Chain A
Amino acid sequence: MRYYKQIESDYIIAIGTGLGGTEITEVEYNEILTVIRNKPQATATTDYRLKTDLTWEEYEHDPDPDPEPDAEEILSILLGGDPE
């Protein structure tokens, strides 16, 4: 299995399996995944970005206006309807 990390401007924005990004080892993948799983708690106006040295950098962002869809919305999506 191929593991990769996706970097933009000295920040790791995602990791994944499959094609894309910069290939990394499974060990590094798991190391980064552990760091992601222990991400500091974001607030309504601040969040954290992961630097390439695997440290978190806090930044401010706009409030998230949209919660995750619930199950009914998802079913509506699956059936081609408008979840809104």
Chain B
Amino acid sequence: MNQLIGYLSEGEQLKGSLTIPQKIGGGGGGTLETITKTYTPTTSQQTEQITPSSGYDGIAEVDVTVDAMPTGTEGTPTATKGTVSNHSVNVTPSVTNVAGYIAGGTKTGTAVTVSASELDSGTKSITANGNNQDVVGYAAVDVAVPNSYSAADEGKVVDNGALVAQTAHADVTPTTSDQTIDTTLNNSLKVKGDADLVAANIKKDVEIFGVTGSYEGGGGSGSIEHGTFTPTERLKSHTITTEQEKSNFVVFAKEGFSFSLGTAAMILMIYQGSYGVGTNNGGTSTGTLGSGQGTLTKSGNNFTYEAAGTTLGSSTRAWQAGVTYHWFAW
């Protein structure tokens, strides 16, 4: 049954026309829409309000399609490892410095990129020999120490590659030229000395090993020795000593003495042998200078003149105080 429901006010007249829409499902008029919906099942409830699109008076039909649920067994998913094929990957070198492998010092803090020329490479083998050896540029260095030593090796030397103790001894005798002594196996050297290496045995002004000679004699017959003495008081006797034993002559002369001036002077001359005042008596010579003069004796390197007289006061030709006497012996 169609039914019009409405209200008119008093005096109001109903106008227009009234179209009774077709009764849904009843074969009446109107435009109805058929709507198709597809849903994929999820784990949550899905709700949608469906309304007719514009231009439709109602919905004639809604077709709902729900996708099929995946099949399987509930539980922990499983997978099967497959084969991974080789791949080519382009890599930009990025090197974090490890001390000692990058030349030019340590680079710290962040990753650094180094070129090949900056990298140490290779291994160098060296043998310790006491000298500094350049190992720059090598990533690794093998050092070989050939031998090790202990306190017991103190003082030992290497001889033909073996460590041996020094046991030899060498004497060095000075010669006219320098000598170089191999001290490798010598634990001691002795440079010989000679007690005769004294100034008196060396010719005057000649230096031998730092000793300057003072000897002025000739060392044989014909050489003349000279000396002086100056008594501080009148002396009855005085002895002079020559460096080498003289056998022939000794002369005493007062300093400043001159024959031509005829001054009072004392000169004693002893000539052993041919003439007068001296005689030779088996190594000890005694010369008589004349009555009241004195005697000259010789013993070894010594010549002694002793004035005559039992006391100094009674002596004549005694050595005079303050007078310098020169003597010559040969």
By a beta-carbon cutoff of 8 Å, the part of chain A in contact with chain B is 1-2, 6, 11-20, 32-33, 36-37, 39, 42, 47-50, 61-72, 74-84
- Cβ–Cβ < 8 Å partners of A65 in chain B: 313-314, 316
**Total A-B pairs in contact (CB under 8 Å)?**
135
A27 to chain B, nearest CB (A): 16
B175 to chain A, nearest CB (A): 29
Q: Contact between B312 and A62 (Cβ–Cβ < 8 Å)?
A: yes
Q: Which residues of chain B from 282 to 325 have a CB within 8 Å of any chain A CB? A: 289-293, 301, 311-322
State which of A14, A68, A71, A75 has its C-beta within 8 Å of the C-beta of B231.
A14
Q: Contact between A70 and B264 (Cβ–Cβ < 8 Å)?
A: yes
- Cβ–Cβ < 8 Å partners of A11 in chain B: 232-233
By a beta-carbon cutoff of 8 Å, the part of chain B in contact with chain A is 200, 214, 216, 225-235, 238-243, 259, 261-269, 275-277, 289-293, 301, 311-322, 327
The answer to whether residues A14 and B229 also contact, given A71-B259, A77-B268, A83-B290 and a CB cut-off of 8 A, is yes
A47 to B234, CA, bound (A): 9
Q: Contact between A71 and B263 (Cβ–Cβ < 8 Å)?
A: yes
**Chain A residue with the shortest CB-CB distance to B293:** A83
Q: Contact between B322 and A17 (Cβ–Cβ < 8 Å)?
A: no
Q: Which 7 A-B pairs have the closest CB atoms?
A: A62-B313, A80-B276, A18-B227, A16-B229, A66-B316, A68-B264, A71-B262
Q: Contact between B232 and A62 (Cβ–Cβ < 8 Å)?
A: no
- Cβ–Cβ < 8 Å partners of B315 in chain A: 66
A74 to B232, CA, bound (A): 24
Q: Contact between B233 and A48 (Cβ–Cβ < 8 Å)?
A: yes
A16 to B311, CA, bound (A): 24
Q: Contact between A36 and B265 (Cβ–Cβ < 8 Å)?
A: no
- Cβ–Cβ < 8 Å partners of B228 in chain A: 16-18
The answer to whether residues A77 and B267 also contact, given A14-B231, A84-B290 and a CB cut-off of 8 A, is yes
State which of B216, B225, B267, B313 has its C-beta within 8 Å of the C-beta of A74.
B267
List 10 interface pairs A-B (beta carbons < 8 Å), by A numbering: A13-B231, A15-B232, A18-B229, A20-B240, A20-B241, A61-B313, A70-B262, A71-B263, A78-B269, A84-B292
- Cβ–Cβ < 8 Å partners of B267 in chain A: 74, 77-78
A36 to B230, CA, bound (A): 9
Q: Contact between B264 and A16 (Cβ–Cβ < 8 Å)?
A: no
Q: Contact between A14 and B230 (Cβ–Cβ < 8 Å)?
A: yes
A74 to chain B, nearest CB (A): 5
- Cβ–Cβ < 8 Å partners of B292 in chain A: 66, 84
- Cβ–Cβ < 8 Å partners of B227 in chain A: 16-20
